[in-house]
């Protein structure tokens, strides 16, 4: 283990994952480290799932995370019926199905507020924290691995802590983290972060060794998500956006090229990074939740100087490239607590250009990030609200259609609002880009119709808008409450938002 456990007392607490999992009891509230599959505990959740399914052990817990988790948690534990309550974010299809079947009470929320909410008692007493580590320091300090999330707060708040020491995570990750011990009202100083690359904390999570109930040695490798493939739509969206940022920079607008970018995961986000590779932007920096492969490319190409994130959300190839060359990247990357990476205070101060993905957007610029047809949760709001509300420029991106053209992502009224009209500056589809800044709702509708809607759906959307204006008169936000969801209803009934063709289709 080569100095992985530097606190001798803790060597005596090494137990098997099976034994550690038995510390998790029915009714407990458990917090886990990590953000996306990165940095999450693996062995103990997998063992608990086994106990639940194979031994019929009845355990139902509230599970709190940083964001989505690895398959051992949401998919295995969720699928085994162990997760009674869940916050603040998921992406697992298995757990999504459980939630939408009523098996898990899911409270999705802003990722940047989660640690504060837990400290403030909103999720009750935290019984247990399970944290993946690449090392334990002399005084019990826990060195996280490829992501942080809410690990620091969960360790601080939990009665007991289980550390999963993952030997497949390189010990050289130590030093990459900057862990800031956030304070709470009423005595709360400003977060002293004013530059993306600044360090304001420590490299390990402080923890009284007596609180560490078990140390589990594991060699379960992380299963990174494969890189989402780009396609013609995502490349077109990226093209529109990079051209817009370039024009902003040319116009002397204060942000472009001088303030940090936030960029998520997925096909469109990857295409944007690709687009930046082909642009003449330089000295880019990122203040983001996740770091993707494209950022490594930008660093390697000398186009990006720095990336601050809470998670290395890299493909297997990207993770290999980073971990194999940590010395080269070490002074260009920092991993922070998610309450810092997603801090509205810091995001606002830095003037971040936020780029998030919409499920659907409406004519007036409201965005749905979370619900399919208003009812079935997809993922959750995640960090998009942390960024969009406080950003210097808030961009939402989506292909104008989904499911082979059977869904229009531009709709008369979104069926669920995650981002209000006040928080959406720019909307981009493969059709084009609508700059909505300073516009009134009806002006936004004209621009979104002209720039973003798919031509196949533009006539129906135009007809709705004209009919709403005619029926309501020139009110602030014309709508027809009996027809605003007609496209969605048609989709629910017929599997497509398209108008029936004349021949009886």
How does 48-74 read in b/e, with b if 16+ C-beta sit within 10 Å? bbbbbeeeebebebbbbbbbbbbbbbb
Distances (CA, A) of 319 to 173, 303, 407: 12, 20, 35
What phi and psi, each to the nearest 5 degrees, are found at residue 52?
Answer: -70, -40
| Terminal CA-CA length for the chain | 66
Q: Is 87 in the site for a copy of itself (CB under 8 A)?
A: yes
Among 63, 334, 350, 407, binds a copy of itself (CB under 8 A): 350
CA distances from 266 to 222, 259, 270, 294, 338 (A): 19, 22, 6, 11, 19
Site string for a copy of itself, 225-264 (x = CB under 8 A): ----------------------------xxx--xx-----
Judged by beta carbon, residue 186 or residue 302, the one nearer a copy of itself is: 186
Look-up of token digits 């971990």: 323
DSSP for 339-356 reads HHHT-HHHHHHHT-EEEE
**81 sits near a copy of itself (criterion: CB under 8 A):** no
Q: Which part of the chain contacts a copy of itself (CB under 8 A), choosing from 69-77, 234-242, 319-327, 434-442?
A: 434-442
Residue 476 or 501 having the CB closest to a copy of itself: 476
Segment near a copy of itself (CB under 8 A), from 220-228, 303-311, 323-331, 412-420? 412-420
Stretch that binds a copy of itself, among 42-50, 142-150, 388-396, 453-461 (CB under 8 A): 388-396
440 binds a copy of itself (CB under 8 A): yes
The span from the CA of 267 to the CA of 272, in Å, is: 9
CB closer to a copy of itself out of 117 and 430? 117
385 is a contact residue toward a copy of itself (CB under 8 A): yes
Element containing residue 51 per DSSP (H, E): helix 43-54
Q: Which is nearer to a copy of itself, 345 or 456 (CB)?
A: 345
Q: Name the catalytic one among 132, 222, 289, 339.
A: 289
Residues 8, 209 contacting (CB under 8 angstroms): no
Whole-angstrom Cα distance, residue 145 to residue 312?
A: 9
Torsion of CA 279, 280, 282, 285, to 10 degrees: -30
Question: 106-135 mask for a copy of itself (x: CB under 8 A)?
Answer: xxxxx------x--xxxxx-----------
Of 160, 349, 458, 462, the residue at the interface with a copy of itself (CB under 8 A) is 349
> Residue 144, interface with a copy of itself (CB under 8 A)?
no
**Residue 102 sits in the site that holds a copy of itself (CB under 8 A):** yes
Q: Decide if residue 16 touches a copy of itself (CB under 8 A).
A: no
Pick one of 316, 323, 326, 377: the residue that binds a copy of itself (CB under 8 A): 377
Report if residue 303 touches a copy of itself, rule: CB under 8 A: no
Regarding 160 and contact with a copy of itself (CB under 8 A), the answer is no
Contact 150, 113 (CB under 8 A): no
For this structure, is 289 an active site residue? yes
Q: Determine the Cα–Cα distance for residues 135 and 315; give it in Å rounded to an integer.
A: 23
> Which residues carry out catalysis?
289
């Amino acid at each position: 283990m080569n100095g992985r456990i530097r606190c001798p007392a803790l060597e005596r607490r090494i137990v098997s994952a099976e034994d550690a999992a038995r510390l998790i009891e029915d009714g407990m509230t458990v917090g886990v480290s990590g953000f996306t599959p990165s940095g999450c505990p693996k062995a103990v959740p997998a063992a608990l799932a086994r106990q639940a399914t194979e031994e019929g052990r009845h355990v139902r817990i509230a599970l709190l995370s940083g964001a989505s988790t690895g398959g051992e948690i949401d998919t295995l534990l969720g699928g085994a019926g162990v997760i009674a309550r869940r916050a603040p974010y998921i992406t697992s299809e298995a757990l999504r199905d459980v939630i939408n079947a009523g098996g898990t009470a899911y409270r999705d929320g802003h990722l940047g507020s989660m640690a504060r909410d837990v400290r403030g008692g909103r999720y009750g007493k935290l019984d247990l924290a399970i944290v993946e580590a690449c090392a334990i320091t002399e005084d019990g300090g826990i060195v996280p691995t490829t992501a942080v999330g809410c690990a620091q707060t969960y360790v601080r708040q939990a009665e007991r802590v289980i550390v999963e020491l993952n030997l497949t995570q390189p010990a050289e990750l130590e030093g990459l983290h900057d862990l800031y011990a956030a304070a709470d009202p009423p005595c709360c100083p400003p977060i002293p972060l004013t530059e993306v690359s600044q360090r304001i904390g420590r490299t390990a999570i402080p923890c009284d060794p007596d609180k560490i109930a078990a140390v589990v040695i594991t060699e379960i490798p992380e299963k990174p998500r494969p890189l989402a493939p780009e396609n013609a739509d995502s490349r077109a969206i990226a093209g529109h956006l990079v051209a817009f940022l370039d024009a902003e920079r040319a116009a002397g607008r204060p942000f472009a090229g001088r303030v940090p970018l936030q960029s998520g995961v997925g096909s469109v986000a990857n295409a944007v990074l690709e687009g930046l590779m082909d642009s003449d932007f330089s000295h880019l920096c990122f203040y983001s939740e996740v770091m993707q492969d494209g950022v490594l490319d930008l660093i390697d190409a000398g186009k990006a100087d720095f990336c601050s994130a809470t998670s290395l959300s890299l493909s297997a190839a990207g993770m290999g490239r980073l971990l194999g060359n940590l010395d080269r990247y070490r002074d260009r990357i920092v991993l922070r607590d998610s309450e810092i990476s997603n801090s509205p205070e810091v995001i606002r101060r830095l003037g971040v250009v936020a780029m998030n993905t919409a499920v659907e957007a409406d004519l007036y610029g409201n965005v749905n990030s979370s619900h399919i047809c208003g009812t079935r949760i997809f993922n959750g709001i995640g960090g998009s609200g942390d960024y969009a509300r406080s950003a210097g420029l808030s961009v939402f991106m989506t292909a104008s259609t989904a499911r082979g053209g059977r869904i229009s992502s531009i709709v008369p009224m979104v069926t669920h609002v995650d981002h209000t009209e006040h928080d959406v500056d720019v909307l981009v589809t493969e059709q084009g880009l609508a700059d909505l800044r300073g516009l009134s709702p009806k002006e936004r509708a004209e621009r979104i119709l002209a720039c973003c809607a798919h031509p196949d759906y533009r006539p129906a959307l135009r007809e709705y808008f004209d009919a709403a204006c005619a029926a309501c008169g020139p009110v602030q936000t014309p709508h027809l409450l009996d027809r605003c969801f007609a496209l969605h209803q048609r989709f629910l009934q017929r599997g497509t938002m398209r108008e029936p063709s004349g021949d009886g289709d």
